[in-house]
Structure formats: C-alpha cells, structure tokens
Chains A and B, each alone.
Chain A
Amino acid sequence: MAYEYQAVHALDGTIGAIAEQRTNHLSVHRMTAVAMVLAAPGQTAEAAGILVSNGEFEARFSGPGEWLVLSEVHAPETLAAELSVRLGDFAFVVDQSHGRVVLTLSGRDAARILANGIAVDLHADAFPIGRAANVLCSHLSVNLARTGNESFDLVVMRSFAEALVDDLKVMARSHDLSVDFATR
C-alpha cells in the first residue's frame, strides 16, 4: 500500500474556470506558507526587529507582539522552522500554512468592493501600502493588508474560506469580478 497524502485546498471544487481576468480579480493562493509568530513576553521589540520583511517573507501585524508571516519562497514545511531559528527565544512560531487561506483582491474597484463589508477607511492616505490589520469583513475576521494602490491581501481561517469568497462575490455585485486560483 502506497502512502501519499495529496493536499486538498479549502477552495478546491468551489471555483469554476474563467476565460480571462476581469476588471477586478480575486486570486486564491495555493502554496503560500503561513506562520504565526508570538513574541515571547517582553521580547516584542526584538522579535519585530528580526521580522523586518526581507523578500523571503513578509510579516503582517495581527495584534501586539503577534504577526502573521507569509512567504512565497519558503515551503509550508520549512517556514516555521526557518523563523524559529531566526527568532530563537524571542518568539514562539506556529505553522499555519494549512490553517489559513490567502487571497489577493486587485483591480480598480478593490477598495470600493471591500468597503461593502469592511468598516476601515481604505483611502490610500489612511491605509497605505504595507499596512496590515485584522478587520471584520462581513461576519468574518480577516487579516487585511494593502499590497498596492489597487490590491489587497486577505488572510482568513481555512474553515471560513468558502464563506469569505461567497461574501466577496456578493460585495462585488455592482462591480466586475473574476475569481481563480493564482498561477505561479
């Protein structure tokens, strides 16, 4: 008997094929490695210093002394280990690659679409590129990050991923939106 455990994405089977990307596009990332970093008590500044984004990974604010770290470079299996080595005693690192789903919403109306479910002021002056925060989107808590003038990342708990995509489609009803898995 062969043992291979093919990974299933939370959104497999829920997203139809599309001919082309529309004005606004929701891209579902299959492979992003995600880890949660919890600064050891009293070591927040030290941990933050080490987590300065370096191209290998990006740390996003989740709460005081807590960051969601995303990486397209590291594999899910290795990101947490890599971070543990770098952070040493300054933080606890928990692999969340399977626990979270990463989505990117981009396009001309991205901020307007999000305003249909998120109460945070998303004007570029108020929520500039690089800013991240946990916010309520419709009924769900998500980590929102601005990655460009017209693009945002949303990181959601895996079990809520399908509900979030459904909500985003409804939020985008007055706008043109396509949804697909990211190709990488």
Chain B
Amino acid sequence: MASLISCPHCGTRPKEEFLIRGDATPVRPAPMAAEEAWHDYAHLRANPRGRIREHWQHVAGCRRWLVVERDNFTHEVFGVTDAAKAGEGAR
C-alpha cells in the first residue's frame, strides 16, 4: 500500500487520512437487472495482482470519494481522480 496519496483537491496526504472501500470497477446494475448481475455487484470480487482501481475516500480531508489506480504488488500509484469525474469518463 502507498504511504502517501495525492488527493486531487487537498494535495499529498498520508494514507491514514483515507478510508478504503475496495474495488472501483463494479458498476451498479440497472434496478431491474438480472439477479445474477446484482449478486456479482454486491458479493463477488476478483483479486488480481498488479494494476487495480480502488475507491478511497478522503475522510479526514475534503471527504470526496476518489479512484486510486495503483499496483498492489509494486505499490506504485498511477493516478488519483475524483470518483465523480472518473465516472464521467467511464460512462
């Protein structure tokens, strides 16, 4: 895990200021999507090695939800973006 995270709003901060939710790739299915899709979304997570995208919230700072893209093996952080902005890109 990284020691420091560069919050796009607050600057470089220690990891202690953040809350980590986990995998940022699952997208909430449509309300009436198949139960399988919802089951996947709510319960199933891959655990890949390497480059991952995670939801981190800067709870002690601006309280924004962020997408942290990092390598869980080398601990390199590739980028940190506001989750609302990251979502725009995905849509």
**Contact, chains A and B (beta carbon distance below 8 A):** yes
Known contacts A119-B16, A135-B17, A136-B16: A63-B60 contact under CB 8 Å: no
Near B by CB (< 8 A), chain A positions 104-134 give: 119-121, 133-134
Set of chain B residues within 8 Å of A134, measured between Cβ atoms: 10, 60-63
Chain A interface category by residue count: 10 to 19
**Cβ contact within 8 Å between B62 and A135:** no
Given A120-B11, A134-B10: A66 in contact with B62 (beta carbons within 8 A): yes
Interface residues of B in 18-72 (CB under 8 A from A): 59-64
Q: How many residues of B contact A (CB 8 A)?
A: 15
Residue ID in chain B nearest A62 by CB atoms: B62
Q: Known interface pairs A63-B9, A119-B14, A119-B16. Does A136 touch B64 (Cβ–Cβ under 8 Å)?
A: no
With a CB–CB cut-off of 8 A, which chain A residues contact B59?
141
Asked whether A135 and B60 contact (CB < 8 A) given A64-B82, A119-B16, A119-B17, the answer is yes
B13 to chain A: closest residue by CB: A119
Q: List 12 A-B contacts (CB under 8 A).
A: A63-B61, A63-B62, A63-B63, A63-B64, A120-B11, A133-B11, A134-B61, A135-B10, A136-B13, A136-B17, A136-B60, A136-B61
Task: Give chain B residues whose Cβ lies under 8 Å from the Cβ of A62.
Answer: 62
Interface residue SS majority, chain A? strand
B64: which A residues are within 8 A, CB to CB?
A: 63-64
Q: Which of A18-70 contact B (CB under 8 A)?
A: 62-64, 66
List 13 additional A-B contacts (Cβ < 8 Å) besides A64-B62, A120-B12, A134-B63.
Answer: A62-B62, A63-B61, A64-B9, A64-B82, A119-B14, A119-B17, A133-B10, A134-B60, A134-B61, A135-B61, A136-B14, A136-B16, A141-B61
* Chain B residue contacts of A64, Cβ below 8 A: 9, 62, 64, 82
B residues less than 8 Å from A63 (CB atoms): 9, 61-64
A36 CA / B51 CA spacing, docked (Å): 38
- Closest partner residue, chain B, to A141 (CB atom): B60
What's the Cα separation between A119 and B59 when bound, in Å? 15
- Which 7 pairs from chain A and chain B are nearest by CB? A63-B62, A136-B60, A119-B14, A141-B60, A136-B17, A134-B61, A133-B10
Taking CB atoms, residues of chain B closer than 8 Å to A141 are 59-61
